[in-house]
């Protein structure tokens, strides 16, 4: 029987100090013994996805800082990193190192917030990389890995589990399989120029007859979005220079997301993209010595699309929690199983499940993305990266005084700080007693419970409208006419 790899998990629910998600992530860091992969003064890469401009479901900086703090505590010298991207949509915000830093800072991923440097791992233009041979690859036989990852001594692969428009699901494998590649590594992994143009794998699936030409409001965006200047749209319609095209996706994204049909993908492309992603992820892992990589993932804000999409929609299921493992295939297998076994979020994933006969336990991403997400797992098994057989180890933090204080900003209660302050100046006593109505005249609580849109306490009082307030120069909207909180302000 194949060995099962452990996947540690702690859920997203919380009722007290010990159960905050950053605290649980710190606990898992030690439960998995990730501190033991770090030697004193090791350069430790913490690989994340910083997210696109206007994306609102990226990881929060404190969830990353929580791991930075423990890498430091273990003696390591952490740096958080991500890589530049190919220009897969017209307004890509991470195509150069400087643009990517602008996006990262907007999301709060600053050195001050993280507690360590933020590094663009493949450099300003995306060409700072190392070629790695991957003879075990299912499709790819080489990878171009971002130099900062190659030169790090250890790595925490810190993923955000969510969907992906190309690979169906993006978790730990995607975080390094796409996010750990340099710019040319990404073009390679996109399978550019694999096969022939008519195969529509190494080139877009093109339907020129569906192009509206210069009458399309997006025709200039389609042309300007091509970094190789391979697209011409004129009165005669659409033309692509196939020799120049490098399959960046920009024309496909413009066409698909504006409701047009000219440029797209063949269904076979998506499974192959997943397989290539797993081969590229293996390329990253091959640059580290054994036992020097730990994988973690936050399965929260589980949007059907990736953080590389410059918008966000409602999640497809509730938040799950945080995961950790030494085996990235096992971790992603566990996360996908948990997502499928979770209830559907009402109205989530752009109502993808509304009116369907979906049953909990079935493949959610197959519905939202039209392609099953587990090709990346089977490819990861085939190339030797990991196993889909896992043992899920659930962590419940102890609710004790010691553990409650363990991960706080200060180990001692903050009231002790105020206690010392009061000895120098007790500004509460300077103002007391505060002005209030006599206690004997306190409101009768049932009279303030709204019934039929009006409380007993407000009967006989005039209805104040927002327009009346604005006419008096107040200039604010009321939550509801005559609501008690409006009269209290």
Give the per-residue pLDDT at 50: 98
Phi-psi bin for 338: left (phi > 0), alpha (psi -120 to 50), beta?
alpha
Give the per-residue pLDDT at 450: 85
Identify the band that residue 466 occupies on the pLDDT scale cut at 50, 70 and 90: low
Q: What DSSP line would sit under 72-140, residue for residue?
A: HHTT-EEEEEE------STT-S-SSHHHHHHHHHHTT--HHHHTS-EEETT-SSS--EEEEE-TT-SS-
Contact 218, 254 (CB under 8 A): yes
Give the per-residue pLDDT at 467: 54
Sign of the dihedral defined by the CA atoms of residues 352, 357, 359, 363, in that order: negative
Give the per-residue pLDDT at 129: 98
Domains and CATH numbers, the chain: 5-190+269-401 (3.40.50), 202-264 (3.30.70), 436-488 (no CATH)
Helix (H, G, I), strand (E, B) or coil at 471: helix
Give the per-residue pLDDT at 1: 59
| Mode of pairing for the β-strands spanning 43-47 and 154-160 | parallel
CA torsion angle 296 300 305 311 (round to 10): -120
Which has the closest alpha carbon to 219: 232, 228, 230, 236? 232
List, in sequence order, every residue forming a beta bridge with 154; answer none if it has no partner: 44
CA angle 381, 329, 31 (to 5 degrees): 140
- pLDDT per position as a tens digit, 209-246: 999 999 999 999 999 999 999 999 998 889 999 999 99
- Range name among 176-185, 316-325, 439-448 with the lowest pLDDT average: 439-448
Q: Which DSSP category does 238 fall into?
A: E
Report the share of the chain in percent with pLDDT over 70.
94
Which has the closest alpha carbon to 176: 332, 7, 11, 374? 332
Cα separation, 107 vs 405, in Å, equals 29
Cα separation, 45 vs 120, in Å, equals 11
- pLDDT per position as a tens digit, 329-350: 999 999 999 999 999 999 999 9
Q: What phi and psi values does residue 294 have, to the nearest 5 degrees?
A: -120, 145
Cα separation, 230 vs 248, in Å, equals 11
Give the per-residue pLDDT at 93: 96
Identify the band that residue 465 occupies on the pLDDT scale cut at 50, 70 and 90: low
Identify the band that residue 480 occupies on the pLDDT scale cut at 50, 70 and 90: very low
- pLDDT per position as a tens digit, 273-318: 999 999 999 999 999 999 999 999 999 999 999 999 999 999 999 9
Which has the closest alpha carbon to 378: 305, 271, 294? 271
Q: Which DSSP category does 342 fall into?
A: S
Q: Is the pLDDT of residue 472 over 60?
A: no
Give the per-residue pLDDT at 435: 96
Could you tell me the two tokens for 354?
Answer: 């509304």
Contact 140, 280 (CB under 8 A): yes
Contact 208, 237 (CB under 8 A): yes
Identify the band that residue 463 occupies on the pLDDT scale cut at 50, 70 and 90: low
Cα separation, 13 vs 15, in Å, equals 7
Give the per-residue pLDDT at 459: 77
Could you tell me the two tokens for 441?
Answer: 């005249």
Give the per-residue pLDDT at 3: 86
Q: Is the pLDDT of residue 271 over 50?
A: yes
List, in sequence order, every residue forming a beta bridge with 5; answer none if it has no partner: 390
Q: Is the pLDDT of residue 451 over 70?
A: yes
Mean pLDDT of the chain: 93
| Mode of pairing for the β-strands spanning 168-170 and 390-394 | unpaired
- Range name among 189-198, 391-400, 457-466 with the lowest pLDDT average: 457-466
Q: Is the pLDDT of residue 473 over 80?
A: no
Q: Is the pLDDT of residue 482 over 60?
A: no
- The 10 Å Cβ neighbour count of residue 442 is 9
Q: Is the pLDDT of residue 420 over 50?
A: yes
**What's this model's pTM, rounded to 2 decimal places?**
0.91
- pLDDT per position as a tens digit, 142-177: 999 999 999 999 999 999 999 999 999 999 999 999
Q: Which residue has better confidence, 456 or 124?
A: 124
How many Å is the Cα radius of gyration of the chain? 27
Which has the closest alpha carbon to 299: 4, 3, 11? 11
Give the per-residue pLDDT at 364: 97
Could you tell me the two tokens for 171?
Answer: 């978790």
Helix (H, G, I), strand (E, B) or coil at 321: strand
Give the per-residue pLDDT at 478: 36
Could you tell me the two tokens for 253?
Answer: 């994204």
Give the per-residue pLDDT at 476: 39
Could you tell me the two tokens for 239?
Answer: 């033309």
Give the per-residue pLDDT at 236: 86
Give the per-residue pLDDT at 355: 87
Cα separation, 159 vs 154, in Å, equals 16
Q: Is the pLDDT of residue 475 over 50?
A: no
CA torsion angle 249 374 50 297 (round to 10): 180
What is the CA 167 to chain-centroid distance, rounded? Answer: 15
Cα separation, 128 vs 234, in Å, equals 38
């Amino acid at each position: 029987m194949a060995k099962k790899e452990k996947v540690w998990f702690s859920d997203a629910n919380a009722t007290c100090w010990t159960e905050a998600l950053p605290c649980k992530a710190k606990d898992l860091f030690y439960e998995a013994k990730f501190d033991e992969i770090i030697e004193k003064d090791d350069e430790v890469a913490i690989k994340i996805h910083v997210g696109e401009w206007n994306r609102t479901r990226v990881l929060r900086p404190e969830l990353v800082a929580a791991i930075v703090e423990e890498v430091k505590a273990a003696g390591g010298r952490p740096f958080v990193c991500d890589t530049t991207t190919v220009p897969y949509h017209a307004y890509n915000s991470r195509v150069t190192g400087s643009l990517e830093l602008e996006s990262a800072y907007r999301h709060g991923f600053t050195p001050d917030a993280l507690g360590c440097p933020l590094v663009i791992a493949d450099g300003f233009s995306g060409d700072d990389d190392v070629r790695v041979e991957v003879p075990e690859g299912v499709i790819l036989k080489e990878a171009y890995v971002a130099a900062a990852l190659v030169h790090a001594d250890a790595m925490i692969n810190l993923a955000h589990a969510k969907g992906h428009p190309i690979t169906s699901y993006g978790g730990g494998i995607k975080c390094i399989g796409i996010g750990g590649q340099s710019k040319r590594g990404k073009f390679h992994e996109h399978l550019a120029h694999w096969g022939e143009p008519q195969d529509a794998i190494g080139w877009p699936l093109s339907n020129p007859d569906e192009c509206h030409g210069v009458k399309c409001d997006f025709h200039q965006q389609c042309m300007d979005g091509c970094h190789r200047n391979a697209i011409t749209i004129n009165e005669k319609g659409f033309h692509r220079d196939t020799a120049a095209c490098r399959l960046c996706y920009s024309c496909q994204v413009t066409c698909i997301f504006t409701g047009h049909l000219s440029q797209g993908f063949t269904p076979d492309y998506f499974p192959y993209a997943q397989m290539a992603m797993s081969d590229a992820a293996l390329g990253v892992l091959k640059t580290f010595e054994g036992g020097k990589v730990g994988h973690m993932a936050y399965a929260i804000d589980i949007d059907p699309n990736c953080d590389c999409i410059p918008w966000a929609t409602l999640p497809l299921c509730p938040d799950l929690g945080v995961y950790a493992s030494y085996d990235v295939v096992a971790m992603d297998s566990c996360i996908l199983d948990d997502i499928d076994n979770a209830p559907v979020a009402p109205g989530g994933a752009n109502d993808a499940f509304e009116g369907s006969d979906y049953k909990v336990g079935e493949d959610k991403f197959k519905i939202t993305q039209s392609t099953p997400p587990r090709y990346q797992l089977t490819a990861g098994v085939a190339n030797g990266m990991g196993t889909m057989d896992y043992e899920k180890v659930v962590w419940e933090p102890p609710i004790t005084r010691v553990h409650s204080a363990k991960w706080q900003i200060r180990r001692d209660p903050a009231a002790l700080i105020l206690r010392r302050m009061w000895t120098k100046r007790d500004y509460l006593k300077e103002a007391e007693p505060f002005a209030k109505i006599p206690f004997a005249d306190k409101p009768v609580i049932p009279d303030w419970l709204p019934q039929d849109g009006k409380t007993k306490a407000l009967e006989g009082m005039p209805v104040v409208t927002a327009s009346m307030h604005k006419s008096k120069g107040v200039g604010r909207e009321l939550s509801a006419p005559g609501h008690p909180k409006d009269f209290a302000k």
